[in-house]
Structure 1
């Protein structure tokens, strides 16, 4: 195991901080966060650049970036994307839909969730979001989708402040030992809350066992160290995600049934993007 991975794993397995070298630990946290963040930003930029320039000019920047993020999620096909696809297929008018058409509908849902704010006035998009979440359906089929949506919606509800990578790095290096310990506790609480939700309440304790999980937790800690500057005193990441999920559920409960389909969605937002993507 690489030394920095070993440090992170020991830290998140709750080894007392005096037994860990705090300088190298901060470097390990920085590598976990900035390494994955840099790769993600590069992927997002490539996806954004693949959108034809004339299309990009017709829509807002936040919509274009949301579409780029949605394209990446679809390409990776994680659990939350598969669950959204399955939930949409449960709609009567989509029972016989092709994979291509279902993916187009999921793409619209992911775009909606990655906008700067939730477009509640867009009734078609919100109806598809409601169907993809399946809040009234079997929880086992939607937990990953719920968690992904809660994280996206938490960002939509948050106060947005621009920070540079240098500022985030400096903020990490300025953390005292007690602040590192406190942030570690909040990250572990957040992971356990997600684990509890994903297991439908059956499993309550999440124990980090691999370098990959430790790097994920390290990235979460550095991200929270930036976010905490823009949220109220005493805020906790687990509670923010839970509040966002409740907010999303409340909004969807007042949203109509059905959806308009990707063709109608693209035609309504811009005529230039009316290429056929399957029957609605």
Structure 2
């Protein structure tokens, strides 16, 4: 059956998007309409024998232009929606927006939780000790994160080698220390009394480095988000509760929470790059999906913090500042160690064989896991 000619409203949208350099077809507009992104047209009666004219209000025209700007052949529609929502502050209709958030957040969350449970179940019970389910869960999450690797893990591993005792350590030794850091960031609280662990944590986060990079941002974002959960009121939720919370969050509230998430990401980027790289562009699919997962998570997680708390304040101001406070002594000790390591070898005379071995191999002998 031949496709009907574009209506006056569709023709106007096609002309607008083409003028922007992002032309879309009549068929694409129809697909957006069927998915609930474009509403039915308004019909204006011209009076007399002049008939009617179909048109869209200005907000729909702006929405179509934003969608066209982010549309690419073969790109998932959910990704186009998320890019328009986070990059252009587009007024996405409620149903397609929430569907995009749900399909981005929940499958990834459930896959991650399933993998963590698999790792936990593979560890045999120790009949001689009392099982700490929260520690076991945190350790399993740490193992999974280390296995999956990625920018955060690679950067934290490299940062740990800033410690003189790990500079020439084996990969196994460094990964053992990294696993300790990840485990305690995933635990209900930081063990601030464990100075060895806090020194590893300080080195892994690397607050005072002059390396302004996306990898540094990723580490800070990971640490800040993990520690924000430790600062909030401890509680447990399940997927159904999180789904209902997102489902019943009003559309205007989602737009406000989106602005909080974007502000938080921009603030962290500004700090991580020293303000030298301009604003963070959330114009790639991975960045938009990351922002979507943060938004979906925050709709529930904000309940664990004082009423009125914003995402930016909790995650990328309060959390980073508290991490800096918690690691202040560790920073001083690590800095002193790096200073001694930079001293010419002649000034190290008499340090002793055992001290030399410990310093150059990272053989500390401390227990990583504590109960």
TM-score bucket (shorter structure): 0.7 to 0.9
State the TM-score, normalized to the length of structure 1.
0.84
Q: Structure 1's 91 and 231: CA in aligned 2 closer, same or farther, altered over 3 A? A: closer
Among candidates 229, 248, 257, match of residue 333 of structure 2: 257
Among candidates 181, 185, 190, match of residue 255 of structure 2: 181
Distance 1:5 1:39 in 2: 19
Partner of 2:122: 50
Among candidates 236, 245, 251, match of residue 171 of structure 1: 245
The number of equivalent residue pairs is: 267
The alpha-carbon deviation at position 68 of structure 1 amounts to: 1.0
Among candidates 170, 177, 191, match of residue 98 of structure 1: 170
Partner of 2:18: none
Distance 2:89 2:231 in 1: 35
* SS of equivalent to 1:35: helix
User: 1:88-237 alignment to 2 at 5 Å?
Assistant: 88-140=160-212, 142-237=216-311
Distance 1:59 1:261 in 2: 28
Q: Structure 1's 13 and 207: CA in aligned 2 closer, same or farther, altered over 3 A? A: same
* Superposed CA offset, 1:151-201 (max 9, x none): 211111111222221122112121222112111211211221232233332
Q: Structure 1's 146 and 4: CA in aligned 2 closer, same or farther, altered over 3 A? A: closer
Task: Give the ranges of 4+ consecutive aligned residues of structure 1 lying more than 6 Å apart after TM superposition.
Answer: 258-262
* SS of equivalent to 1:53: coil
The alpha-carbon deviation at position 6 of structure 1 amounts to: 2.1
Distance 1:173 1:269 in 2: 40
Q: Structure 1's 189 and 53: CA in aligned 2 closer, same or farther, altered over 3 A? A: same
The alpha-carbon deviation at position 240 of structure 1 amounts to: 1.1
Larger Rg over CA atoms = 2
* SS of equivalent to 2:366: helix
Q: Structure 1's 178 and 133: CA in aligned 2 closer, same or farther, altered over 3 A? A: closer
Distance 1:78 1:216 in 2: 14
Q: Structure 1's 120 and 165: CA in aligned 2 closer, same or farther, altered over 3 A? A: same
* SS of equivalent to 2:333: coil
Any gaps of 5 or more consecutive residues in structure 1? Answer: 271-280
1:70 maps onto 2:142 in alignment: yes
Greater RCO (Cα-Cα under 8 Å, separation 6 or more) = 1
Partner of 2:104: 32
Any gaps of 5 or more consecutive residues in structure 2? Answer: 1-74, 335-357
Distance 1:168 1:67 in 2: 24
The alpha-carbon deviation at position 119 of structure 1 amounts to: 0.8
- Please, what is the CA RMSD of the aligned residues? 2.6
Q: Structure 1's 69 and 135: CA in aligned 2 closer, same or farther, altered over 3 A? A: same
Distance 1:213 1:140 in 2: 18
Partner of 1:82: 154
1:11 maps onto 2:85 in alignment: yes
